[in-house]
Amino acid sequence: MISFKNDYSEGAHENIINLLVKSNLKQENGYGEDNYSTIAREKIKKTINNDNIDIHFISGGTQANLTVISSILKPYESVIAAKTGHICVHETGAIEATGHKINEIETKNGKLYPELILPILNEHTDEHMVKPKLVFISNSTEIGTVYTKDELVNLSEFCKSNDLLLYLDGARLGSALTSEGNDLTLEDLSKLLDVFYIGGTKNGALIGEAIIIINDELKDNFRFNLKQKGALLAKGRLIAIQFVELFTDNLFFKLATHANLMAKIISDEIKKLGFEFLTDSKSNQIFPILPNKLINKLEKNYDFYIWQKIDNDTSAIRIVTSWATKEILFF
């Protein structure tokens, strides 16, 4: 049985494992003040080509989202997000648990645009309602779509002119930035966003995400937030080591490129067979719409999620490829 359920089924790329082994008995300071954290920060800054950023390593995406968002908002401020956003659906109310409402927006493709956000701003005009302050986006989105540079520039300008901050959940940022047609770079992100995170867990790391704080006002005392949310690992070296290797020799981008290629091969084959897709994805998550009979047959050899019932005879399934997916013939 081969699993296409997600991109975190395997351990880590061998370079990471090797450094874990090699570094194992070195004594290091705790809580992210070790040498590997320093090295990883330097490498990421160099890749982003931006020295004026703060970098913090954290164990997972939900923890990154809840720690970042709760650190930014005043009690009455809210987050704006697409209804398909991870924080709206799949984080068990983690954001609300820190006290904040999410203003959810229905979208066609999982992406936010100024024209979708504007009505929310127009409605929220007085103290009887929350005050929207932060826009949450994901790239790639939870349904595999990817922002273009134009889209992100527009959104960024809209946010700035409306006193909104912009945060990007980069759980699958590697896949987005290496997807076909992508014209965004990490450097662009560091100019257009206030804060984002670079996902390691879903792109070849054993564990960990790297939070990148760009906006100076969000930098102060961030480690207090990390510690309070239980996000400051004693052996911070563990996550740092992941990023040392991911940002050595472009490994981060190579792994994502591979995942995308694997998805494209599968995708192309499915298209050849004449099937449609639920969303237009160039990233490592694809959502083909298949006859239930075929799905049943596929389930005997492959593991994947049935995403959505389309009609009585067909359903959309989710296929996720990863850095570890081997090039195989899907059908």
How does DSSP assign 78-141, residue by residue?
Answer: EEEEETT-HHHHSSTTHHHHTT--EEEE--SSS---HHHHHHHHHH--STTS-EEEEEEEESS-
CB of 261 to a copy of itself, least distance (A): 19
- Contact predicate 256/178, CB 8 Å: yes
Question: 200 to 229, contacts with a copy of itself by CB under 8 A?
Answer: 201-202, 206-207, 221, 223-229
- Report if residue 104 touches a copy of itself, rule: CB under 8 A: yes
Q: Are the CB atoms for 63 and 39 separated by under 8 Å?
A: no
Q: C-beta of 21: minimal distance to a copy of itself in Å?
A: 6
Q: What span, in angstroms and rounded, lies between the C-alpha atoms of 18 and 32? A: 20
What does the alpha-carbon distance between residue 323 and residue 181 come to, in Å, rounded to a whole number?
20
Nearer to a copy of itself, 54 or 184 (CB): 54
Between CA 146 and CA 144 the distance in angstroms is: 7
Cα–Cα distance measured from residue 77 to residue 123, given in angstroms and rounded to the nearest whole number: 14
**Is residue 3 within the footprint of a copy of itself (CB under 8 A)?**
yes
The CA-atom distances, in angstroms, between 288 and each of 139, 213, 214 are 20, 36, 37
* Cβ at position 181, least distance to a copy of itself in Å: 27
Q: Which residues contact 240 (CB under 8 A, 6 or more apart)?
A: 32, 34, 36, 37, 39, 40, 57
Which residues ranging from 22 to 41 are in contact with a copy of itself (CB under 8 A)?
A: 23-31
Interface with a copy of itself (CB under 8 A), residue from 48, 55, 94, 317: 94
Per-residue string for binding with a copy of itself, 108-127, x by CB under 8 A? -------------------x
**In the complex with a copy of itself, which residue's Cβ is closer, 66 or 317?**
66
- Residue of the chain from 39, 261, 294, 324 that contacts a copy of itself (CB under 8 A): 324
Task: Provide CB contacts within 8 A for 94, sequence distance 6+.
Answer: 62, 65, 66, 87
Contact with a copy of itself (CB under 8 A) among 37, 67, 182, 203: 67
Residue among 15, 37, 47, 78 that touches a copy of itself (CB under 8 A): 78
Closest by CA position to 285, among listed 254, 307, 255: 307
Contacts to a copy of itself from residues 287-316, by CB under 8 A = none
Of 94, 84, 72, nearest in space to 163 by CA? 72
Binding mask 227-266 for a copy of itself (x = CB under 8 A): xxxxxxxxx-xx----------------------------
- Tell me whether residue 2 or residue 273 sits nearer to a copy of itself (CB atom): 2
Query: Is residue 76 involved in binding a copy of itself (CB under 8 A)?
Result: yes
Residue number with CB closer to a copy of itself (61 or 192): 61
By CB under 8 A, residue 90 contacts a copy of itself: yes
92 lies in the site for a copy of itself, by CB under 8 A = yes
